[in-house]
Amino acid sequence: MRARLVAALLVAIAVGLVSACGPMAPVSASQSGLNGTITVFAASSLNAAFTRIGADFEKRHPGTIVKFSFAGSSSLAAQIQQGALGDVFASADQPNMQKVIQAGLTSQMPIVIARNDLEIVVAKGNPKHVEALADLARSGLVVVLCAPAVPCGHYAAQTLQKAGVSVKPASQEADVKSVLSKVALGEADAGLVYVTDVKSAGNAVEGVAIPPALNVVAEYPIVILKDSQNRALARAFVSYILTDGRQTLARYGFTNP
Amino acid sequence: MALLTRSRRRLQSSAPFLIVILAGAGAAFFIIPLLGLLLRTPWTSAWQQFGSAEVLAALRLSLLASVSATAIALVLGVPLAWTFARLAFPGRSVLRALTVLPMVLPPVVGGVALLLAFGRRGLVGGWLATTLGIHLPFTTAGAIIAETFVAMPFLVITVEAGLRSMDTRFEDAARTLGASRWTVLWRVTLPLVRPSLIAGAVLCWARALGEFGATITFAGNFPGTTQTMPLAVYLALESNPDAAIVLSLVLLAVSLAVLIGLRDRWLGAS
């Protein structure tokens, strides 16, 4: 609860910075002194959306190259702490962003660029008629969740607790994609994943929405790293995400902060 | 005897300099990462980590699953090795290639293949579930199957090599003296390839102990049921890297102890 409050505060400060024309002020398209390359460390779940946004950005600013390194947020945070060189870090949760901030590797406060809701994932056509979180406790229903150590497992536990449902999962998967594939392969009847995962999974599965009151919202903060070699381009890219990139993120299932 | 030792000493001293340098680099390549682990180990909290219920459960499960996988591999793999070494039949090389495929297949892909075979909607998994009531995914049996799938080829190729290089005249002699095929196998063939059997079983066990990809894909991850040590290490890396290092060292110590113990006792290496 306190963590969420702190997070909300951070967001408020960050948003304040942007609107107050701070260092993150949007760069207009006419301003074309941009060139060179930046490397963006981004959470795996941002893969599809960021790849699209990166391509659009390069088209808007010819001569620039945006490289991505996608991996789990905790792996990325560890890589940055071990000295990996890059310009921007986009995490799928606040704790991993905090690790990088506390190591003194960032140059300003992070900004939340997107949110992601949890959803119940079931096989196409919902053969087991899972309608709500409470159904996950039904006996005979094979449910898989993320392990508590990874963000999606942490969020799943919070949501189930809010709903007062106690689920005994058949497995605690190492990442959200594994939960999705267990359901897609028919090995599990239901799981808890992000809305964006259901959207990207295609035809094998479908999502059952969780009411907002019970849902836990994952936040994606982004920050420019202290050791950035091309700060101007990094700033322009982050601004682009906050303006034109919003639509693209929405198209991939993310909600606006 | 004296002559032999002297000549050996001369041979040793004349080892090419380049070979020694490269061998040293090769050894360092294995030792440096190990040193990295040892130096980063939080020794003060190590015992506390080791004693936790979850770690003990993972260790117990790892030992149970790897030993069971080795036992299954011996029962099924030795006859397979014998077939490859002694019987000539069409398609033998293809069959042989297929059985050692898990050695090069990414284990995660192996896990998916197992799901497609023994999963709820798999080729035989559906039948297993409806007629026999056997469910493999998300069970300890599933973890054992995954480890067997990945580790058994190591036993098969080691035993096959042993069978191929042994002197078959002993078997012929036993046959002419009236021993049945079964007796020859038990009393002549298997005792003669004992070093290969043990080496193959140890390799198989070590591979099963470290198995990760196929297990987490096919059997999932649940503490006490399918969470073996490598899975526990991987998940601990997410939340508590110190615990992951301690867990890795435990796994390392257990496997080193077993390998060294076996080597002195049975493999006769000096």
Same domain for A8 and A130: no
Of B138, B216, B223, the CB nearest to A174: B216
**H helices of A29-175, where?**
47-60, 73-81, 94-102, 151-163
Backbone φ, ψ for residue B170 (5° rounding): -65, -40
* Contact call for residues B189 and B81 (beta carbons, < 8 A): no
Distances (CA, A) of A158 to A196, A214, A253: 19, 9, 21
Same domain for A33 and A84: yes
Let me know if residue A96 belongs to a domain. Answer: yes
Residue A39: predicted pLDDT: 96
In the structure encoding, which two tokens stand for residue B172, read together? 């012929």
CB contact under 8 A, A185 and B112: yes
Interface test with B, best of A74, A145, A171, A205 (most B CBs within 10 A): A171
Residue B120 contacts A where some CB pair is shorter than 8 Å: yes
Let me know if residue A152 belongs to a domain. Answer: yes
Of B222, B238, B240, the CB nearest to A171: B222
Let me know if residue A24 belongs to a domain. Answer: yes
* Contact call for residues B227 and A149 (beta carbons, < 8 A): no
Same domain for A137 and A15: no
* Contact call for residues B218 and B25 (beta carbons, < 8 A): no
Rounded to whole angstroms, the Cα distance separating B163 from B196 reads: 8
Angle, in degrees to the nearest 10, between helices B229-239 and B53-86: 140
- For residue A193, give the nearest of A222, A161, A159 by alpha carbon: A159
Reported ipTM:
0.77
Residue B43: predicted pLDDT: 80
Same domain for A191 and A145: yes
* Contact call for residues A118 and A216 (beta carbons, < 8 A): yes
DSSP string, A51-87: HHHHHHHHHHSTTEEEEEEEE-HHHHHHHHHTT---S
Residue A19: predicted pLDDT: 44
Residue A72: predicted pLDDT: 82
Let me know if residue A257 belongs to a domain. Answer: no
Let me know if residue A256 belongs to a domain. Answer: no
C-beta atoms surrounding A165 within 10 Å:
15
Q: Which residue of A has its CA nearest to B216?
A: A173
CB contact under 8 A, B115 and A185: yes
Same domain for A111 and A6: yes
CATH number at residue A130: 3.40.190.10
Rounded to whole angstroms, the Cα distance separating A210 from A134 reads: 11
Taking CB atoms and an 8 Å cutoff, what residues of chain B touch A153? Answer: none
CB contact under 8 A, A169 and B222: yes
Q: What angle do CA A103, A107, A109 make, to 5 degrees?
A: 90
Same domain for A106 and A17: yes
Residue B265: predicted pLDDT: 59
Residue B266: predicted pLDDT: 57
By three-state DSSP, how is residue B10 classified?
helix
Please give the single-letter amino acid code of residue B111: G
Q: Is A253 left (phi over 0), alpha (psi -120 to 50) or beta?
A: left
pLDDT tens column, B205-260: 999 999 999 999 999 999 999 999 999 999 888 777 788 888 888 888 888 887 78
Shortest alpha-carbon distance between residue B23 and chain A (Å): 30
Same domain for A133 and A101: no
Of B112, B120, B234, the CB nearest to A174: B234
Same domain for A243 and A139: no
A99 HSE (CA, 13 A, CB side): 20
Same domain for A105 and A6: yes
Which parts of chain A sit beneath pLDDT 70? 1-32
The count of structural domains within chain A is: 2
Same domain for A90 and A18: yes
C-beta atoms surrounding B53 within 10 Å:
9
- In chain B the domains, ranked by start, together with CATH numbers, are 68-223 (1.10.3720.10)
Of B115, B216, B235, the CB nearest to A149: B235
Residue B133 contacts A where some CB pair is shorter than 8 Å: no
Rounded to whole angstroms, the Cα distance separating A42 from A245 reads: 15
Let me know if residue A10 belongs to a domain. Answer: yes
Q: What angle do CA A88, A89, A90 make, to 5 degrees?
A: 125
Same domain for A97 and A50: yes
Which parts of chain B sit beneath pLDDT 50? 1-3, 269-270
Shortest alpha-carbon distance between residue A69 and chain B (Å): 18
Who contacts B119 (Cβ-Cβ below 8 Å, separation ≥6)? Answer: A185, A186, A187, B125, B136, B137, B218
By three-state DSSP, how is residue A195 classified?
helix
**A26 DSSP 8-state letter:** P
* Contact call for residues B146 and B215 (beta carbons, < 8 A): yes
pTM of the model: 0.79
A231 HSE (CA, 13 A, CB side): 8
Residue A151: predicted pLDDT: 83
- For residue A71, give the nearest of A54, A50, A57 by alpha carbon: A50
- For residue A185, give the nearest of A167, A165, A168, A171 by alpha carbon: A171
In which domain, by residue range, is A160 found?
Answer: 118-209
Same domain for A50 and A78: yes
